Amino acid sequence: MTQLLSFMSDIARQGAEPVLPPARELDLLLYAPCPVKLVMKDAVDRVSADMTARGLPPLSMHVPMGCTSVDPYDPLANETDPDALPGVIASIGFGDFWKRAFAKHFVEAGVFESVHPREVSPLYQRAGMTDPRGVYTIYGCTPYLFVVDTARLDGLAAPRTWAELLEPRYSGRITMCGDGDDMADAVLMSVYKDFGMEGVARLAKSCSGFMHSSTMTKAAGAKSGGPGAIFIMPAFFACSTKQPDSVRVIWPEDGAAASPLYFLAKRSEKQRLAPLLDCLTEGFAAIPSAAWFAPLALCAARSPLPPEASLKWVGWDFIQSRDINALRNELNGAFRRTYRENAAARGEVPCAS
């Protein structure tokens, strides 16, 4: 609960943005999950202050505020000139910086080089999340798991795996993490990889609606009840609040679907920006609330994650064999269409999201 209250306080701190410099003048463009956005910015600010104290220029950075705001640097993914890019681009999910065109211009050309911390989390080692090409650095992830209100399951056993979640007995009992155009892309990607479009359609048909993660924490276990019994949500929200005894947090036995928190560091800037890169790896792992984002450098001895926690990563071969960003958009659209069609067939009004 303390971490969730801190998150809500951070939202209040996110105000208007100053006039922004060209992207080429930035050392860091940082898109981060809302719950840890400001604590990450504070950590980077400390790095910048330390550099200034040592007689070095301060870091030039931009951290977009707000959870769903349109950002003026959004067109950067369409850039073709490496000199027009910041020293480090950090982002989340399978968004624009995974586009095939972007990869063709920069990733395959060797513009970026990954960073390896002193110690790598066993979760990452088991899931195979280190880029074998040495380009993307996955420094954390959003693990999507199940939060189950057993009082609403009418005697059904809670799902233990993603395959079980797709079984017809859970139809109409699943609430999907989603807000506006955003949705849990790693969930759809994992379901598609293992079960194809049929699996995505089955999940959509079982969906009772969409809900923002912070709202899910209140809906699960609410005395007023509700249509959803199974909530697919990030570990941060699932594990940051105390719930009634009827509510269980379930890490799927085949792994929580992992949505990447990653950065792309210019090879030419790695030495100059070494303190910043250390902040994004070792420093991120030292932030208490970031533990629920399974940091790359989080050692097992300091991890608050449950012993059964594991990550489900779609895999680098899967990513490199297709335009993963285009697939994300395709799956998002297919899921929403199927959901709306089935809601209409049941005589329901589809969720506004």
- 278-289 tens-digit pLDDT: 999 999 999 998
Determine the pLDDT at residue 18: 61
Measured CA to CA in angstroms, residue 19 lies from 38, 84, 269 at distances of 19, 18, 25
Do 227 and 207 meet the contact criterion of CB atoms below 8 Å apart? no
First and final C-alpha spacing in the chain: 26
Measured CA to CA in angstroms, residue 55 lies from 52, 77, 278, 320 at distances of 5, 33, 19, 42
Burial class (CB in 10 A: 0-12, 13-18, 19+), 7: buried
Do 235 and 145 meet the contact criterion of CB atoms below 8 Å apart? yes
Hunting for tokens 């990607």 — which residue is that?
189
Mean of pLDDT values over 323-348: 90
Determine the pLDDT at residue 350: 60
Say if residue 191's pLDDT is above 80: yes
Q: Which residues, in sequence order, are CB contacts of 78 under 8 Å at separation 6+?
A: 101, 102
Confirm whether pTM is higher than 0.75. Answer: yes
- 74-91 tens-digit pLDDT: 889 999 999 999 999 999
Determine the pLDDT at residue 14: 45
Which stretch of DSSP H or E encloses residue 262?
strand 256-265
Paired sense of beta strands 182-183 and 174-179, if any: antiparallel
Determine the pLDDT at residue 91: 95
Which domains are assigned to the chain? 2-141+257-328 (3.40.190), 144-254+333-345 (3.40.190.10)
- 294-321 tens-digit pLDDT: 999 988 777 888 888 999 999 999 999 9
Do 122 and 311 meet the contact criterion of CB atoms below 8 Å apart? no
Rounded-to-10 torsion of CA 296, 297, 303, 308: 40
Say if residue 336's pLDDT is above 80: yes
124 vs 225, residue with greater confidence: 124
Distance separating alpha carbons of residues 285 and 68, to the nearest angstrom: 25
- Tell me the pLDDT band of 11, cut-offs 50, 70 and 90: very low
Determine the pLDDT at residue 353: 46
- Tell me the pLDDT band of 217, cut-offs 50, 70 and 90: confident
Determine the pLDDT at residue 221: 75
- 39-75 tens-digit pLDDT: 999 999 999 999 999 999 999 999 987 665 567 888 8
Least confident of 26-35, 58-67, 272-281, 316-325: 58-67
- The per-residue pLDDT of the chain, averaged, comes to 89
- Tell me the pLDDT band of 3, cut-offs 50, 70 and 90: low
- Tell me the pLDDT band of 105, cut-offs 50, 70 and 90: confident
Determine the pLDDT at residue 20: 83
- Tell me the pLDDT band of 228, cut-offs 50, 70 and 90: confident
Distance separating alpha carbons of residues 254 and 276, to the nearest angstrom: 34
Determine the pLDDT at residue 251: 96
Report the percent of the chain where pLDDT is more than 90. Answer: 69
Mean of pLDDT values over 257-275: 97
Measured CA to CA in angstroms, residue 310 lies from 149, 156, 196, 224, 343 at distances of 22, 24, 22, 33, 33
Distance separating alpha carbons of residues 171 and 166, to the nearest angstrom: 8
